[in-house]
Copies of this chain bind each other. A is one copy, B any other.
């Protein structure tokens, strides 16, 4: 791909007209979390563990028509933060590190399961593991970890 096309892709989404652009401008403050999580259902919640399910929505697809890697990372962030709350923490702190391995594609309409488990929640540092699986087969779509700094009263 030539440099001009790469630039155009970044600035205009690959040459689409800006219909989507104007849609984006009108979106509400802090819309991002709702944009990602709309449609999630919590199947199990207990101290240290959450299992959710979700049908892959068309708005979160990438150009290959499967769940966008950025959306997957955001689910690792969000469900990984929520599971820290299940241990009674008053706040989930700030993110220190997120990592994700991508193992398989999840296509539009597929039912996926997101499982978050706390690996450690101390006074200052919390680490959780998050796995996305295909609900029908159990095949792993992605596995990640999310590390947070929890002691927000003192400065990080």
Contacts and interface: CB of A to CB of B under 8 A. Distances in A.
B129 A70 contact: no
- The count of identical subunits is 4
Interface of A: 1, 3, 5-7, 9-11, 13, 16, 20-21, 23-25, 27-38, 40-42, 45-47, 50, 52, 58-65, 68-71, 73-75, 77-79, 82, 85-86, 88-90, 94-105, 119-120, 122-125, 127, 129, 140, 143, 145, 147, 149, 151, 154-156
Nearest to A70: B74
Give the interface SS of chain A, mostly helix, strand, loop or mixed: mixed
A3 B59 CA distance: 29
Nearest to A63: B30
